[in-house]
Structure 1
Amino acid sequence: MNVDSVPIWLFFFGTIAMIMASVEAGYRLGRASHRRSADEKEAPASGVAGAILGLTAFMLAFTFGIAAERYDSRKALVRDDANALRLTYLRSDFLQEADRGETRELLRKYLDLRLAFASGGSVEPGKVRVMLAQSDQIQRRLWDIAVANGKRDLNSDVAALYVESLSDVFATHASRVAIGLQMRIPKGVWLVLSGLIVFGTMSIGYHAGVSGSRRAKASVILALSFAMVITVIASLDRPDGYVRVTQQPLMDLRSFLATSP
């Protein structure tokens, strides 16, 4: 199953259900073990629970680090995208008059396309394909115009500067697609993290059962705490999560282009 197809809210409620079920299963195993053998002590169970929860904390920190780093990268790429587009727009002044208007109109459409996609809610595969296809068409046309103008004077430093800024636009687009749409927390990491959470919370319930105590009502607080952290990680990992990257640099650029000739 594709992790991206799982709704964010399901991470929250699914984690709560998983932890509560694990604690209950561990508690019942502990009670059964305690009844069968009086030699089953709570001290070893406590040590096992502490060790597993320590590993769980490490995996949570590791997974959160992956998601947070990608989130920071996506924020930086939005700024890079805005800067590259602005510079390309300004350097288009040096193009032939016939190409200048078309280039600036293409850049405006390109910017509107990015903003519409970023504010469009869920990132569906069909929507992604349409956005990428339209972006590719605009990029190809921009490149054709740049090549045609460059061939008029192969030694022009001005043409070289325009091509450089246009190349930055293309490179930033490729990075945004790779980091924002294609790269995710690996399924193996989610699997290991889920397994450690299950084993860790089972060991907590087992410890309670072996010690002969009643079910801890604080298990609900534990489940809510884990669920909140998992939900934040899942949201940071997705471009359509609850924690979204601001597109303000691109919105500011659109305001600038709207007042430019």
Structure 2
Amino acid sequence: MDWFAELIDRMNFWVVTLVLLVSLVAAREFGGWLHRRLEGNKDDCAEDGVDKQFVITGTLGLLALLIAFTFSLSLHRYEERRMTVVAEANAIGTAEMRVRLLNPPDNARMAALLQAYARARLAYGLADSAEKRALAAKSASLRSEIQAAALAALAPESRTPLGITVTPSINAVLDIGAEREALNTARVPGAILFCLFSFNLLSAAMLGYALTGTRARQRPATIALFLLLTMALMLILDLDAPQRGMIKVDQSPMLQLVDGFAPLPQANLQ
């Protein structure tokens, strides 16, 4: 079902909203047409009304549970992305401070690499979905440079307290960068999204089928319900796609880090 998630990703956010709302209304009309086709256009008796009310209540209750589950999953992923930005900014800041303790010119070279990496990570966080892949590749290249430079600079200090202090901070920068990119690509599984959208359409069709006898009176109420369902689904999709919709992951920690960097050490300091 990954094709379904990819299809939604390729579509404009507002187009998805409009298509979903129109589809819900169409599903309700199809349910009403099916009821008239099978049972005619007569009003339901009291007993049938109670039975249909029971079915509608159960269906909408199950739909609410499914939406709540998916919303919780999306919100948890969003919170993880937000906290990872804070953790990465802290990791880069710590590493950039510690490499300044190295001997020249390694201190200046390592600090410059980490500052360039921080700016690349800020650009990655601010970019939309279409630009993230290229910026992720740039970040991976910088991580390779940082790793190679750290190995060269720390080789003489590997068994000293300085080496033991600096090495874990560099390793944390490398690890959390890859973790953050993995979190940004992690999405609600396509199978869950497909089931959620399908269940919404089936619920709308069931509403149309059950409310056929009083459909004219219930039309404004069902449209209001469909608007609420559409808003809930769009909120889930917005939370699940960082930097795509209206809800964006706050990049303030990384911005404050970049703005607060101290001048680089003098490479020729003896």
Letter in 2 for 1:135: S
Matches of 2:108 and 2:26, distance apart in 1: 63
What's the TM-score, normalizing by structure 2?
0.88
Aligned to 2:260, the other structure's residue is in SS state: helix
Residue of structure 2 in register with 1:154 after alignment: 158
Please give the residue correspondences for 1:148-187 in structure 2 after superposition, counting only pairs within 5 Å.
148-180=152-184, 182-187=185-190
Aligned to 1:209, the other structure's residue is in SS state: coil
Residue of structure 2 in register with 1:17 after alignment: 22
Instruction: Tell me if structure 2 keeps the 8 A contact 1:88–1:166.
Output: yes
Residue of structure 2 in register with 1:256 after alignment: 260
Indicate yes or no: 2:70 matched with 1:56.
no
Matches of 1:28 and 1:161, distance apart in 2: 72
Alpha-carbon distance change, 250 to 112 in structure 1, aligned in 2, over 3 angstroms: same
Instruction: Tell me if structure 2 keeps the 8 A contact 1:53–1:197.
Output: no
The CA deviation at 1:76 is 0.5
Instruction: Tell me if structure 2 keeps the 8 A contact 1:15–1:223.
Output: no
Q: Residue by residue, what CA displacement relative to the aligned partner does 1:101-157 show, whole Å, maximum 9, x if unpaired?
A: 12111112111112222223x312xx3332222212211221122212222133112
Indicate yes or no: 2:118 matched with 1:114.
no
Matches of 1:27 and 1:259, distance apart in 2: 71
Residue of structure 2 in register with 1:73 after alignment: 80
Structure possessing the higher relative contact order (Cα contacts under 8 Å, 6 or more residues apart): 1
Residue of structure 1 in register with 2:93 after alignment: 86
What's the TM-score, normalizing by structure 1?
0.91
Aligned residues: 257
Alpha-carbon distance change, 155 to 110 in structure 1, aligned in 2, over 3 angstroms: same
Q: Residue by residue, what CA displacement relative to the aligned partner does 1:3-62 show, whole Å, maximum 9, x if unpaired?
A: 321222123212211111111111222233332888883332222222111111111001
Instruction: Tell me if structure 2 keeps the 8 A contact 1:11–1:227.
Output: no
5+ long unaligned stretches in structure 1: none
Residue of structure 1 in register with 2:220 after alignment: 217
Larger deviation, residues 226-235 vs 29-38: 29-38
